[in-house]
Structure 1
Amino acid sequence: MKKYITLLLCVIINFLVALGCSSDDKNSDTPTTPETVAAVAIEKTNSTKIYVHYMPWFETNESSADKKWGYHWTMANKNPNNKDANNRREIASYYYPLIGPYHSGDKSVIENHLLLMKYSGIDGVLIDWYGTYDVYDYRMVKENTEQLIAMLEKVGLEYAIVYEDRVTKSAVDAGKAISVTSAAKTDLAYMEKNYFDDKNYIKVNGKPLLLNFGPIVLQTPAEWTNIFNTLTAKPTFVTLWDQSVEAGDNASGEYAWVYKNSTYLTNFYTNTKPKLSVAIGSAYPGFKDFYAQGGGGAAIGWTIEHNNGATLDETLAMAKNANLNYLQLITWNDFGEGTMFEPTVEFGYTYIEKVKAFAGVKNTENVFPDISQLYNLRTQKKGNADAQRKLDQAFNYFVSMQPTKAKQLLNEIK
């Protein structure tokens, strides 16, 4: 009897082993989880830190709660639901994004933007930020900002906040804050708690970098002293050019912007920069606002022509001659003012190619079209889990500076 029991146990064991093998065989074709890899820094010869000003304020009819396109695509009189003969939507800009109008919180869009930046030699993003209060579209801008921040470290890019202090008045006017200084204190406390300690938050002189677009509302040193006194440590605070006097000793420096013509940049580099402990230069491809045409208010009143890239060549050359520690590209995606470095139908990849040359990127392989292909496939294969896993892997290859592997994988996806 013992012999038969032993034999029976052997049969059962062999059956279970065989069943296990069969189960493994069935699962052998199941896509594996994409390999997680650490971001690898791009190699470049220019030591200047290159940052790009970024607008996280775009919304589409699919992303918004009310199913309407956001103001920054429509202004007062444009309707992106209308398409022309080339299937391009009607937007409030003279220029059209290569990937079409988008929602700033869309992970596929963010992935596209950040990979293009990385391979063009950009070190980080300076995010135009409208505070914490639920006024106008500020809440949406904050949410989009945090989607952007979530992916920045994965790609290996830094970031800092450009605070729009004009929002403090909006918060008071809406009855959300008792004073402009209390509104600013709330916003800066949020930054300190949620952003400043991030390992990829930009630090200058050992402290988190904070830019201010202005000051516009908070225009006295006493106000800024009051605001910063509530923080554990004062950030390296940098105002718009010629406006640090409004922050007094609280300001560590100034940054240049875009205005009328290059003589203003010349003056900044020649006369202002030597007096500043922190000076951030600027480079831009042009300026052509759409406000009057879009019914979004009066035109700015001046234009800087793009001149087939000559304007960008000039401002990058000025930056090189100024021997800058920090350069801000103006802007990645302000389509309403026509200052985009983001690839467009009109200019293609021209502007980020010029940034790549300025940065001295050692990887000369042309990967920009492949990064666009990744975005297109994300959209085309939206409901295809297997394809999306492969695209995740392609993203990881791009991030880890293995573009050849990424391209091969993209070409396999049908």
Structure 2
Amino acid sequence: MKRYITLLFFGILNILVATSCSSDDKGSDKPTEPEIVAPVAIEKTNSTKIYMHYMPWFETNESSADKKWGYHWTMANKNPNAIGANNRREIASHYYPLIGPYHSGDKNVIENHLLLMKYSGIDGVLIDWYGTYDVNDYRMVKENTEQLIGMLDKVGLEYAIVYEDRFLTNVVNAGKAISVTSAAKTDLAYLEKNYFTDANYIKINNKPLLLNFGPVVLQTPAEWTNVFNTLTTKPTFLTLWDHSVKAGTNASGEYAWVYKDNSFLTNFYTNTKPKLSVAMGSAYPGFKDFYAEGGGGAAIGWTIEHNNGATLDATLTLAKNANLNYLQLITWNDFGEGTMFEPTVEFGYTYIEKVKTFAGVKNTESVFSEISKMYNFRIEKKGNTDVQKKLDQAFNYFVSMQPAKAKQLINEIK
């Protein structure tokens, strides 16, 4: 009996010591593992589905194999390695991203972009996509797209593809495909196998949504019929406004874009939308291309001034009055054409604040500056495992609609 009591005493002592050690570990430098949480949808009063057109085409000298900045930051004559007196890199744009020029496949950049979109009331991303072939920068665009897709479901956003058939001729000329239709079939088969089946791929009328920026190369209904015959499920296929005749009955509808002035949008809503089974409107903050200044070819030839946000206000009002089911924002980050909603040095968060108001986001707490601060810490504290895990937890709080907890964590970091 005495031996049993002695063993029991030492057993309890060991448990107390172990508990004490465990408690000490929690107070040590050992990073706390982030809590795994599911994304929660943002609450908003506007039932219109709001989608953001997105360019995944940016490269930096650190991300590219040849250690050169990508064309969309340089065009023909700009050098982002040159840093001006205002501490900004020289880029091919009239405007400057708030986080500076970036690589589209960078996980920290994608995190920043998607969190800003989520809290703006945006439902999903429409990704500008060049296909599957290793020609020019098309493979890079595809790889960056898949980095983006990899985080979309974690944030709780949907996505669909905007297919650029304009590049099919380049694929054939490079000897990668025997014809433009065979190249398109390969691209669409890849979409069906790898994207269309994703739970967060956008479906309209129970079919995967596919937009086309044109058509430009495949200009007859017969060609599109030939291409779609390889698919198990024909997509809900939208062409650029006034281009559905080129796809014939393969087209389910059209989407509006940006052109010259707002009268073209008014015409689309008044005269075209009533005739379409599926119509997607557009809103934009302005248009001012950099092609002539950047040596990237002739200027488009027209400009829509930003007018301190008045242009965006006007296009959002047109969208509201048109009672749209679907709205595409043009664009998150086409800096070369100056249509960006992404926060910039020039406009700050003005444009996404306007989207947030349009969407009727119920959570009115201001979080955009904290999301930017989070990105800055990702970069500044790159080698600090403890900080990175805190930021991972902040990310989880953001996506699960617990912004107060996220902000608290971020503001604890020095």
TM-score by length of 2: 0.96
Residues 303-350 of structure 1, C-alpha deviations (whole Å, 9 max, x = no match): 111111111111111011111000000000000000000000000111
User: How many Å separate the matches in 1 of 2:59 and 2:174?
Assistant: 22
Determine the structure 2 residue equivalent to 1:27: 25
What secondary structure, in the 3-state scheme, does the structure 1 residue paired with 2:136 have?
Answer: coil
1:265-284 equivalence runs, <5 A: 265-284=265-284
Q: Contact 2:32–2:386 at 8 Å: present in 1 too?
A: no
Residue 313 (1) aligns with residue 313 (2)? yes
CA distance in 1, matches of 2:404, 2:24: 31
Q: Secondary structure at the match of 1:166?
A: helix
Aligned ranges 1:185-264 → 2 under 5 Å: 185-264=185-264
SS at 2:162's partner residue? Answer: strand
Superposed CA offset, 1:372-412 (max 9, x none) = 11111111111100000000111111111111111111111
Structure 2 counterparts to residues 30-41 of structure 1, below 5 A: 30-41=30-41
TM-score normalised by structure 1 residue count = 0.96
Q: Report the count of equivalent residues.
A: 412
Q: Is the 8 A contact 2:48 2:325 kept in 1?
A: yes
- Cα offset for 1:362? 1.0
Superposition deviation, residue 20 in structure 1: 3.9
Shift of the 80–18 alpha-carbon distance from structure 1 to 2, 3 Å rule, reads same
Classify 1:42/1:4 alpha carbon distance in 2 versus 1 (closer, same or farther; 3 Å): closer
Q: What is the distance in 2 between the residues matched to 1:271 and 1:109?
A: 40
Any gaps of 5 or more consecutive residues in structure 2?
none
Q: What corresponds to 1:412 in structure 2?
A: 412
The residue aligned with 1:104 is 104
Distance 1:265 1:142 in 2: 31
1:288 counterpart residue number: 288
| SS at structure 2 position matched to 1:318 | helix
- Report the CA distance shift for 1:6/1:359 in structure 2 as closer, same or farther (over 3 A): closer
Question: Counterpart in 1 of 2:81?
Answer: 81
Which residue identity is paired with 2:357? A
After superposition, the Cα gap between the structure-2 partners of 1:316 and 1:4, relative to the gap in structure 1 and judged at 3 Å, is closer
User: 1:139 maps to what in 2?
Assistant: 139
Counterpart Cα distance in 2 of 1:404 and 1:6: 53
Q: What is aligned with 1:129?
A: 129
Matched, 1:300 2:300: yes
What are the within-5 Å matches in structure 2 for residues 40-189 of structure 1? Answer: 40-189=40-189
Letter in 2 for 1:94: H
- The 2-side partners of 1:19 and 1:41 are apart by 45
Give the residue type in structure 2 aligned to 1:27: D
Q: What does the per-residue CA deviation read over 1:82-136, in whole Å, with 9 as the maximum and x for residues that have no partner?
A: 0111110000000000000000011111111111111111110000001100011
Deviations along 1:162-196, whole A, 9 cap, x unmatched?
Answer: 00011211111111111100100000000000100
Q: Name the counterpart of 2:358.
A: 358
Q: Which moved more, 1:394-403 or 1:327-336?
A: 394-403
| Aligned-pair CA distance for 1:264 | 0.7
| Conservation of the 8 A alpha-carbon contact between 2:207 and 2:234 | yes
Q: How big is the shift at 1:260?
A: 0.4
Measure, in 2, the Cα distance between the counterparts of 1:379 and 1:230.
Answer: 45
CA drift at 1:204: 0.2
In 2: Cα distance, 1:328 partner to 1:25 partner: 52
Matched letter for residue 136 of structure 1: N
Partner SS for 2:165: coil
Aligned 8 A contact 2:281 2:319 in 1: yes
Unmatched tracts of structure 1, length 5 or more: none
Alpha carbons of structure 1 residues 403 and 15: separation in structure 2 relative to 1, 3 Å: closer
Report the AA paired with residue 371 of structure 1. I
Q: 1:24 to 1:329 in 2, by over 3 A?
A: same
- The CA distance in 2 between the partners of 1:316 and 1:200, in whole Å, is 26
Question: Identity, % of aligned pairs?
Answer: 81
